[in-house]
Structure 1
């Protein structure tokens, strides 16, 4: 007779569900921001423009602020640093794909598609190079400002929204100057793009980011409670 008790499977990691979901979203947005950045969108009815990567990047601000609020500044900073990993892997895969020969079917039947793909992605290296410099500076600054404004008092929804707006506006203005200069200077006149980028990010930081952070915090808490239940 075997009296040995059955070995129970190892318990799953005690990782909050909200943290898991938001970390996945964070990694995806780091890659998508660089891809979207190649297209500049006009800010109608002006001649000012904005690079489309700001939409993904503002979500990075929201996610990092949410993580800082719920799980602490040190953890949010680690996520920012680990965000370099998907950026690096994406860059290496892009270089690999550009270096591999295209299929004979594509060369013969879809030469225009191939030329467009290579023209866009072969010049995106400056975006990939500028992205990390702006990324690490602005997001670490955002987390630092967001955390410093918290103080020792009891958190309120209005306080959370104000902290999110101020931290995002300041950090994203600096991000715009770094990114636009490194990515596009010398390729075309950048002043309209730079001004449009700063204005767009500051306005969105004030109008949109506070509500997204509030929603993000509530959503993460709901997910954490759902797992606990």
Structure 2
């Protein structure tokens, strides 16, 4: 037990906290869902590029890679601070939000525009979505986030709550790996212009970049987790948690 700014931080079993209200959990959930939606809406459709001086080339990349990995950071925070069951509920909330976003985008784009409104083409370019890519993205998100949360919770038990950096990076390697292994083949395998070699190259490259981003954000992850644990006063362990992903029950 360690002393925090708001009193002692107690190590507790997650199953004893089923009806507990946490001060900051709702904010963490809202941040997670917002990042998931915005990274898919604002980041997924744009290809940007940066100049790499050492290689003397311009390197293109999907703009969403700058922000989507933050969802894994928040997934780590939620699991580490509030336990797997609450992280599971947040993942389901993000999954439902993505489904609604995809449905709303399809409906709004499909609505016939008024004759005096001349922006339909631009609107379709920004918000029109390829069903195969949308489906792949949602499935990959669901599986990757659950793997991330599961691995972190299990590693926390194995390490007795030590080596947070090892748990956050290890869980991200697993979660982002599953995400990439599902998304890129499901979205692009056999698509025009996408050879098997290109799919594999992009898969590995994006996975390495996302994990590297997580590593760089490790000090931020430590700071946020430390802040929340001190404010909430607990350190949750999932020793007796039901790890099925197919429920939102606490």
Query: What TM-score, normalized by structure 1, do the two folds share?
Result: 0.77
**Of the two structures, which has the highest relative contact order with CA contacts closer than 8 Å and spacing of 6 or more?**
2
Alpha carbons 1:170, 1:202 under 8 Å: kept = no
Out of 181, 185, 194, which is 2:185 matched to? 181
The residue aligned with 2:37 is: 31
**Higher Cα Rg: structure 1 or 2?**
1
Matched positions, count = 205
Query: What TM-score, normalized by structure 2, do the two folds share?
Result: 0.71
Task: Establish whether residue 149 from structure 1 lines up as the match of residue 160 from structure 2.
Answer: no
Q: Residues 29-76 of structure 1: CA distance to partner in whole angstroms, max 9, x if unpaired?
A: 221232222223446436764433333321211112111111111221
Alpha carbons 1:169, 1:206 under 8 Å: kept = no
Q: Could you say if the C-alpha distance between residues 177 and 154 of structure 1 is closer, same or farther in structure 2, counting changes exceeding 3 Å?
A: closer
- Give the number of the structure whose residues are more often strand, by fraction: 2
- Give the number of the structure whose residues are more often helix, by fraction: 1
Gaps spanning 5+ residues in structure 2: where? 1-18, 234-250
* 3-state SS of paired residue (2:113): coil
Alpha carbons 1:65, 1:143 under 8 Å: kept = yes
Q: Distance in 2 between matches of 1:148 and 1:207?
A: 23
Q: Distance in 2 between matches of 1:160 and 1:205?
A: 13
Q: Distance in 1 between matches of 2:61 and 2:170?
A: 21
Out of 51, 58, 63, which is 2:62 matched to? 51
Q: Could you say if the C-alpha distance between residues 114 and 222 of structure 1 is closer, same or farther in structure 2, counting changes exceeding 3 Å?
A: farther
Q: Residues 111-158 of structure 1: CA distance to partner in whole angstroms, max 9, x if unpaired?
A: xx43132134333433321112111111111111111111355534xx
Out of 72, 97, 112, which is 1:86 matched to? 97
Q: Distance in 2 between matches of 1:187 and 1:41?
A: 21
